[in-house]
Amino acid sequence: MAKVGVWLIGAQGSLASTVVLGAGVSARRLAGGGGLVTELPELAPLPLVGLGDLAFGGWDIAPTGLVARARSLTSADAAVPESLVTRLEADLKAVEARVRPGFADGAGPAVRRAARAFVPRGESLQAAIQRLGDDLDRFRVEERLDTVIVVNVASTEPPLELTRDHERLDRFRRVIQHDRRTLVTPSMVYAYAALERGFPYVNFTPSIGMAVPALQELALKHHAPFYGSDGKTGETLMKTVLAPMFRYRNLEVLSWEGFNILGGGDGRVLADPRHKRSKLRSKAGVLGAALGYAPHTGVAIEYVPSLGNWKTAWDFIHFRGFLGTKMSVHFIWQGCDSILAAPLVLDLVRLTEFAQRKGEAGPMTHLACFFKDPLGVTVQSFTDQFRMLTDYVERHTNNERHAKNGPAIRRKQPRAR
Amino acid sequence: MAKVGVWLIGAQGSLASTVVLGAGVSARRLAGGGGLVTELPELAPLPLVGLGDLAFGGWDIAPTGLVARARSLTSADAAVPESLVTRLEADLKAVEARVRPGFADGAGPAVRRAARAFVPRGESLQAAIQRLGDDLDRFRVEERLDTVIVVNVASTEPPLELTRDHERLDRFRRVIQHDRRTLVTPSMVYAYAALERGFPYVNFTPSIGMAVPALQELALKHHAPFYGSDGKTGETLMKTVLAPMFRYRNLEVLSWEGFNILGGGDGRVLADPRHKRSKLRSKAGVLGAALGYAPHTGVAIEYVPSLGNWKTAWDFIHFRGFLGTKMSVHFIWQGCDSILAAPLVLDLVRLTEFAQRKGEAGPMTHLACFFKDPLGVTVQSFTDQFRMLTDYVERHTNNERHAKNGPAIRRKQPRAR
Amino acid sequence: MAKVGVWLIGAQGSLASTVVLGAGVSARRLAGGGGLVTELPELAPLPLVGLGDLAFGGWDIAPTGLVARARSLTSADAAVPESLVTRLEADLKAVEARVRPGFADGAGPAVRRAARAFVPRGESLQAAIQRLGDDLDRFRVEERLDTVIVVNVASTEPPLELTRDHERLDRFRRVIQHDRRTLVTPSMVYAYAALERGFPYVNFTPSIGMAVPALQELALKHHAPFYGSDGKTGETLMKTVLAPMFRYRNLEVLSWEGFNILGGGDGRVLADPRHKRSKLRSKAGVLGAALGYAPHTGVAIEYVPSLGNWKTAWDFIHFRGFLGTKMSVHFIWQGCDSILAAPLVLDLVRLTEFAQRKGEAGPMTHLACFFKDPLGVTVQSFTDQFRMLTDYVERHTNNERHAKNGPAIRRKQPRAR
Amino acid sequence: MAKVGVWLIGAQGSLASTVVLGAGVSARRLAGGGGLVTELPELAPLPLVGLGDLAFGGWDIAPTGLVARARSLTSADAAVPESLVTRLEADLKAVEARVRPGFADGAGPAVRRAARAFVPRGESLQAAIQRLGDDLDRFRVEERLDTVIVVNVASTEPPLELTRDHERLDRFRRVIQHDRRTLVTPSMVYAYAALERGFPYVNFTPSIGMAVPALQELALKHHAPFYGSDGKTGETLMKTVLAPMFRYRNLEVLSWEGFNILGGGDGRVLADPRHKRSKLRSKAGVLGAALGYAPHTGVAIEYVPSLGNWKTAWDFIHFRGFLGTKMSVHFIWQGCDSILAAPLVLDLVRLTEFAQRKGEAGPMTHLACFFKDPLGVTVQSFTDQFRMLTDYVERHTNNERHAKNGPAIRRKQPRAR
């Protein structure tokens, strides 16, 4: 009997597939809970929703994919044993069948090509938002859920320059009403549909989504927590871990060059230069903040089909030490992208549901350690970001303790709707 | 007009040579101050001694070496421009001439072989301590110094099992008086000589030195600050930076294998398995503390003459993520050992002198971030260790502010002697 | 209807298991024939035995293992799909059941511990040779085989210094008769048993085996082809490929340091320093021959259980170019040992059977490219070694052509027995 | 008393500077001759010109640079000792003063910007060829040289599509006469000027130069030897060494991804995408030829100023072995570009002069091992290419021996002019 809904944008993709598979495997204790931050002792004080209490659904631009992706994780990627997928097959199929058509206009060339058959065509922005919002409500009612957490795990959209029309909710509403499609990307449409119905929204991609001020205003209006952008899983995680070392040792980083190769659906989309641009932007930003100055830096991403879901990153860091001597560090990161990202998605679902349950709304800055480009947070040292999370846990632990004598943090309402 | 003495154990070695060269170069602003932690804005509130106000001397087992080592840093190692060494040559020669014979018995086979001609033979432990202490006093008087900071930058000694006789000062004194040489290594003799005269002692090597409880008792008796052991400059620094990432992401480290190759004098000494053992011990310890469990781990060190002062380390980290998937990170560290270590030695001198000036004594745990095996500190996350240093700065900044209304931390005496 | 027998020494190990699995999979065309040198167009002119015409058996010191090893290749190692092993399971079980007790005395401590229950104890050398020879004959008769190729794929033995008693067959026979066990290792016993009955012997390990002159004399006496030692699969293969580059560009290699980590049974045995010594010897020898001088070199092998059958090697090559400038290359090799070695074992079986069929005897120097330490060959450039193989093919192609007009190479007898 | 002239196109650049410095240093035996292929014992039988018998001059688009580049090789790059440059300073200055204005139109945007002041403007192609040819003749006469070898070591030009007009000399002549500049790049102008006067031309860059059939016709007409293109110094050298290994082991290369970073003048020019394209073309071509099929491959080049003349390349090779198992090799190449290339330029000068002296003309295919894209040679295995060179040596050695009894290879004339 599930209590919390998880609605995945990009539900037929590798990451969504691994999220669904992983929740089932972990709930049944068929494999260890490695990679789940919410299973750390530091987070044990928080009464989070169990992984077995999650129900999954989502949007995509294709009617199938989820089961095939899980299978390719075990065959082509050799990342998980075949038997795990076999045992979860019924669950995976059920979720795949529950996937509803998403919204593709403005998702970039790589996505548009794929969306033809499944997604309604010629739909106005307003109609789409209505349709998508209805999907969420129906999911909540049919599955008897307390709430639905919407998480964007779709492919990266091309970047879009924000205008004055994105700044205030009233103006952005008019953009929707007048169907001015060049100002709107799917991630905005999805976020709008979710937040308008009071459902929390988490942006795990570099797509613009929650960075739109008007949407943040909408979230606050409906008292929904939200956060993003772009899950921090590999190379950029390493950057936010290593950069403080150079900073605290007063070693000047001269150049930091990164070269990423990956296959899979994500790799294919990023091979398109327009999609790639968004990704590079969120990856490149962290160094300046972490170091206090901007070294020469480059981040390349190339599509290498044979790698499948595995990403290999080579980073070269050139630095100057005492007496001007130049030295260097290289690192090579070899990780399976979906496997690294999926537990973080589940962590974010659990922590977002908790925040909503506690009546919190607005940007969840305590979740900065999960993101490459954490909204409203300038701290880029990973250790310091993790401390923001443990501080949050501590505040809540103290509150629970104090709660016996009276409430400590203001809550507006126990549930968004 | 120098005010603070720096007495280096291993004064004819590469690191000592780079310390002396670097202090001169930095004081004359011939090169940037990169690598000096004490030049970070975070430490600016502390009124530390200027690098131009340091006078250098030291002990060694050979009468020469310091100038040649500086030259080889510019020629064989290609680490610093020839012109820097040329301009500092007079200074380097003056310090080289000031080096006094050290103590070699118990320093291990690699050192003993080299010590024959310069170091007195058949000297009792007590006579040696007297002689070495006199060296320090003479240095202080002749150079009109406020104090002398003794720093051990000599080659690594073989390990020695500590006994009950090392535990209390009265017992250890009897060991000295009875000349029981199998219980005593040179690093103990040096520390004893320094602390007995009230001079602070910093152990930058993995040699046992300040880890002897009896010597810590001696330090407290003479109200001298001290710290160690083993400067953290490269591979181990990376470990204390990266291990928290795995810890905070709940990624289980299965194996962490390190392979270090280096040339130079340090490499030659470490090629001897007895010397190597001490080094490996201090390098291997950090992971368990940082991760909370002990993964499979190995640390190899090999002597590769062609590398000179450059050390290359390859580390392979095998870890298990979500659903049991195994992934890996490799890093390759390419640094010039003396260049990495020398600024830290200068940092430690400045911070130790400051502590002594403020009347502080005992282990300087706020310096944990400088060491592989920080005395009395179990925190092994580098970022957290750095916070211990900035917390110290903050305490002193607040004290200075409060000092106008009255003293805040207890001081016994403004100076050790 | 198999025609050629393959008798594997170490038949319950990972490599043997992969050989049997791989022959079955390739014969049934369930996967591509990648890694098989004998499938190259260059070798197409030779009428080699089909992989489906091979029958397998062997010796080991344990009664089981082969099936479990194949399973662990698919689960723990994630190297091959589970379905391949499932489809071949009957074959694997049949071969496992056919494995006969080997000989363990002198195989080194790591092997002796494991051998207790299965292998006869207190057996004389002469009795063992008789028993082992009978195994081969029985295999040939029962399976109606034309011949049996014996291949040593067992764990590495500790090295043994050869004496005058190993030099001539008559002397070595006396060693056997007098049961002087300190002069004999299992690889010699196995080779003796095989060659005495006229079966070819290939030593895929660094164990001493065929390097004993007396055994080579025995082979010639019974007109059997033989070869070894130590299959060249990864790091050393790279060495014999890269070293000629430095040689032909007149770039002086200053140091070549290798660091190998691996798990699995092979890793466990090599963790014992006595076993490791043999391996290091065969790995280190190639550089001097390929370069024309001996650079500083080191080869480390460490046992890292989490890696299973996967070996990771890091090699650092420091070289001096024009004007004395030092430069470097690093390489990281990540391969699955059994997967790399198994096709070479099948190649060697096919080429050895062909040589025997053609009436050739003695060392098969045209197979040098398969070995780290090719008997009687000083050429260590891999490309040049490969040319020795294609030259052999060409000689046989020409012979076939000429054969219509008369014989070209001398043959003694069409078959060994 | 020099006998052979070396005329460098790009004479103020890093490579030219290192060539001049290196010839002087080697001739005076101030450093070892490492990196010179012509100093290998295999080439000893050829009576090549001594490095002390070379006189240098050249063209460039800037009046200075050569001395500054040599200094930066010792300071910024820390590649050679300062003292070497100091001792050769007079020579370097003399060559720098001898540099004549080159030709810049069509050299690409990065070059055009720099060429303004030094190079004549508004000059017709025909006038330029006349002026450049006169430079060569004047050099030969003034320095009393036997011949002049022209070597292109300038920055890479953007690619240009060849047309029917480039195919035959008579047509190409009309292009020159009619000043049709869009069909002509500087490397063609330089080659034309040199070959028309009978001087050999070697193209060490990927610029189109000698690949123009009309220019090859011109060379044959004037009986001049020539060759190119693009010196093979680092990453591509490794490719032509490693690819045969995969080929001969029947290991299918799935992907070969290369990532190059470098600074210096060459890096700056290659940062421009139009220039980069030529380079990438010559780098990417080798794999298909060496493997026999075209794997997925990418070659990225990025400009990283802090690296100066040092190039770091990371290559990732993904390959499939037995039973379809995917494995990988990474390599990291860290070399100083000028130091790697300069000795090859000297080798090419010596071997070209020898060929001319022996009356040979046309493409010197025996020099294939020096080039990424060897004219008229499809062999891409480096070892096989080296054999082409030693075969050439052998042919000449035999000829010398036979010469006592009569001539063996046809010579037209002992000298080009």
Burial of D29 (0-12, 13-18, 19+ CB in 10 A): exposed
All chains having 3 or more CB pairs closer than 8 angstroms to chain C: A, B, D
Chain D interface disruption, residue of B74, B75, B82, most D CBs within 10 A: B82
Query: Residue D18's domain spans which residues?
Result: 4-231+339-395
> How is residue C297 annotated by DSSP?
E
d(CA C303, CA C331): 20
d(CA D333, CA D382): 17
Quick check: A293 contacting B, CB < 8 Å? no
C-alpha distances (whole Å) from B30 to each of A185, A251, B27, B398, C247 are 55, 17, 8, 35, 42
Chain D interface disruption, residue of A235, A259, A303, A336, most D CBs within 10 A: A259
Chain D interface disruption, residue of A246, A268, A296, A328, most D CBs within 10 A: A296
SS3 D352: helix
Give chain B's domain count: 2
- The pLDDT confidence band at residue D272, using thresholds 50, 70 and 90, is confident
**Contacts of residue C47, Cβ cutoff 8 Å, sequence gap at least 6:** C354
pLDDT higher than threshold 50 for residue C413? no
Residues C239 and C215 in one domain: no
Provide, rounded to the nearest whole percent, the portion of chain C with pLDDT above 70: 91
Omega cis (within 30) before D255:
no
A79 contacts in chain B (CB < 8 Å): 323, 325
* Partner residues linked to C335 by β-bridges: C311
Residues B155 and B302 in one domain: no
> Are C229 and C166 within 8 A, CB to CB?
no
pLDDT at residue D198, rounded to an integer:
96
Q: What is Dmax (Cα atoms) for chain A?
A: 68
Pairing mode, strands A201-203 and A225-228: parallel
| C89: number of Cβ within 10 Å | 15
Question: C residues 330-349 near A, CB within 8 Å?
Answer: 332
All chains having 3 or more CB pairs closer than 8 angstroms to chain B: A, C, D
- The pLDDT confidence band at residue C273, using thresholds 50, 70 and 90, is confident
> Are A375 and A211 within 8 A, CB to CB?
yes
d(CA B213, CA B231): 20
List the one residue out of C270, C262, C275, C273 whose CA is nearest residue C235.
C262
Query: Which residue does chain B place closest to A27, by CA atoms?
Result: B323
List the one residue out of C70, C334, B252, C75 whose CA is nearest residue A78.
C75
Query: Which residue does chain D place closest to A263, by CA atoms?
Result: D255
Amino acid code (one letter) for A376:
G
Q: Is residue B64 part of a domain?
A: yes
d(CA D167, CA C369): 45
Domain boundary among C335, C358, C381: C335
d(CA B297, CA C302): 10
Q: Mark yes or no for CB contact D80/C325 under 8 Å.
A: yes
pLDDT at residue D414, rounded to an integer:
39
pLDDT at residue A273, rounded to an integer:
74
Q: Is residue B408 part of a domain?
A: no
pLDDT digits (tens, 9 = 90+) for B92-136: 999 999 999 999 887 777 666 666 678 888 899 999 999 999 999
Domain boundary among A300, A316, A335: A335
pLDDT digits (tens, 9 = 90+) for C339-389: 999 999 999 999 999 999 999 999 999 999 999 999 999 998 999 999 999
d(CA A233, CA A240): 11
Cβ contacts below 8 Å, chain B against chain D, sum to 11
A244 contacts in chain B (CB < 8 Å): 241, 382-383, 386
Amino acid code (one letter) for C22:
G
d(CA C411, CA C414): 7
* Residue B32 CA, distance from chain mean position: 22
Between these two residues, D10 and A403, which has the higher pLDDT value? Answer: D10
- The mean pLDDT value for A121-127 works out to 92
pLDDT at residue D112, rounded to an integer:
65
> Of C255, C304, C318, which has the smallest distance from its Cβ to B296's Cβ?
C304
pLDDT higher than threshold 50 for residue A278? yes
> Of C75, C81, C332, which has the smallest distance from its Cβ to A75's Cβ?
C81
Query: Which residue does chain D place closest to B71, by CA atoms?
Result: D81
pLDDT at residue B284, rounded to an integer:
66
| Residues, chain B | 417
Quick check: A141 contacting C, CB < 8 Å? no
B296 contacts in chain C (CB < 8 Å): 304-306
Between these two residues, B144 and B269, which has the higher pLDDT value? Answer: B144
DSSP string, B376-398: T-----HHHHHHHHHHHHHHHHH
Residues D172 and D294 in one domain: no
Average pLDDT, chain A: 90
Pairing mode, strands A147-152 and A99-101: unpaired
Q: Is residue A405 part of a domain?
A: no
What is this model's ipTM? 0.92
- The pLDDT confidence band at residue D21, using thresholds 50, 70 and 90, is very high
> Are B83 and A324 within 8 A, CB to CB?
no
Q: Is residue B406 part of a domain?
A: no
pLDDT higher than threshold 70 for residue C201? yes
d(CA A206, CA B273): 52
Return the residue matching tokens 């320094």: B194
Between these two residues, A35 and B408, which has the higher pLDDT value? Answer: A35
Q: Positive or negative CA dihedral for A81, A82, A87, A89?
A: positive
pLDDT digits (tens, 9 = 90+) for A211-227: 999 999 999 999 999 99
List the one residue out of A153, A150, A149, A174 whose CA is nearest residue A164.
A174
* Residue D406 CA, distance from chain mean position: 35
pLDDT higher than threshold 80 for residue C128? yes
Quick check: C75 contacting A, CB < 8 Å? yes
Amino acid code (one letter) for D57:
G
Residues C283 and C372 in one domain: no
Q: Is residue B184 part of a domain?
A: yes
Q: Mark yes or no for CB contact D40/C248 under 8 Å.
A: yes
Residues A263 and A380 in one domain: no
Residues B182 and B282 in one domain: no
Return the residue matching tokens 């003794």: B150
Residues D331 and D375 in one domain: no
Q: Is residue A33 part of a domain?
A: yes
Q: Mark yes or no for CB contact C259/B254 under 8 Å.
A: no
pLDDT higher than threshold 80 for residue B386? yes
List the one residue out of B211, B134, B205 whose CA is nearest residue B172.
B211
Q: Burial letters for D196-235: b for 16+ Cβ neighbours within 10 Å, e otherwise?
A: bbbbbbbbbbbbbbbbbebbbebbbebbbbbbbbbbbbbb
Query: How far D196 CA lies from chain A's nearest CA (Å)?
Result: 45
Residues A57 and A202 in one domain: yes
The runs of H, that is alpha helices, within B1-81 are: 14-27, 66-74
> Are B152 and B210 within 8 A, CB to CB?
no
Side-chain-side CA neighbours of residue B280 (13 Å): 19
Residues C331 and C349 in one domain: no
DSSP string, A90-106: HHHHHHHHHEEE---TT
Burial of D406 (0-12, 13-18, 19+ CB in 10 A): exposed
DSSP string, C108-156: -HHHHHHTTTTS-SS--HHHHHHHHHHHHHHHHHHTT-SEEEEEE-SPP
Structure tokens given for A353: 């549901």
Residues A162 and A285 in one domain: no
- The pLDDT confidence band at residue A2, using thresholds 50, 70 and 90, is low
Q: Is residue C411 part of a domain?
A: no
N-to-C CA span, chain D = 21
> How is residue B333 annotated by DSSP?
E
Whichever domain contains B243, its CATH number is 3.30.360.10
d(CA A410, CA A414): 11
- The mean pLDDT value for B281-293 works out to 81
| D412: number of Cβ within 10 Å | 9
Whichever domain contains C8, its CATH number is 3.40.50.720
Residues D304 and D159 in one domain: no
Domain boundary among D315, D335, D355: D335
Q: Is residue B417 part of a domain?
A: no
d(CA D284, CA C140): 52
Pairing mode, strands D54-60 and D4-9: parallel
Between these two residues, C98 and A279, which has the higher pLDDT value? Answer: C98
Residues D63 and D200 in one domain: yes
Omega cis (within 30) before D282:
no
pLDDT digits (tens, 9 = 90+) for D92-116: 999 999 999 999 887 777 666 666 6
Return the residue matching tokens 């500092």: B88
> How is residue D234 annotated by DSSP?
S
d(CA B12, CA A58): 69
Element spanning C85, H or E: helix C82-98
> Are B94 and B143 within 8 A, CB to CB?
no
